[in-house]
Amino acid sequence: MGANKHKTKNRLPPFVPLLIATMDSPAWRAMSHGAQILYVALKRRYNFNIHNNGRIYLSQRQAAQELRSHHNEIARWFRELQHYGFIVMVTPGVLGVEGKGKAPRWRLTELGYMKEFPTRDFTRWDGRRFQHSKTKSRAGIGARSVRENLHTGVPENHIAEGTSVQELAHISRQQGVRENTHRTILPYAPAQSPTMAPAGVTPCQVLS
């Protein structure tokens, strides 16, 4: 009885074991610190008693709260862990009934799974660095800024650069306004002098 108490007293509290061989691998050293700490959070959920490897899950929201990071960074670190071969997705995430989501289920490659030996995929890393690519928007198009007052694109509302607005542009600058242009301009007949005799009549006849 006393021996059991002594054994219980010296038992270590719950901890997350990290294998030295895993941490010394080139793939582990090539990863970002964020991906490494996310792996620790995933391995924390492995239960050595029930051997739940392949059913380990950690939602992005929960990971963001635990690691105090943005969910975009969490999603990038998940992809990074997959790239270097530390985790493999067994079951993808789905949207369950009543609109409640279900996080993906993961397998840690350094641990056995379903009576199979660990695959340790990270030991076969080909040396290609993880390249982060921005995720596309859900609409499939990049965000664009909105141009204000698009209706001002009507040609008549635009003034050519370097020119001023001409007032009364319908009036020609070279020629003044011609008044009464509707009248026909014809030469007037010269007024006849009373002393002038009609054709064929002599002045003497006119005076007599």
Output the pTM of the full model: 0.60
What pLDDT digit, counting tens, does each position of 37-46 carry? 999 999 999 9
Give the CATH architecture of domain 17-123.
Orthogonal Bundle (1.10)
Contacts of 22-26 with CB under 8 Å at 24 or more apart are 22/86, 22/110, 22/122, 25/122, 25/123, 25/125, 26/125, 26/127
Give yes or no for a contact between 55 and 31, defined as CB atoms under 8 angstroms apart: no
Domain boundaries defined on the chain: 17-123
* Other Cβ atoms within 10 Å of 31 Cβ, number: 23
What pLDDT digit, counting tens, does each position of 154-198 carry? 444 444 554 444 544 444 455 555 555 555 555 555 555 555 555
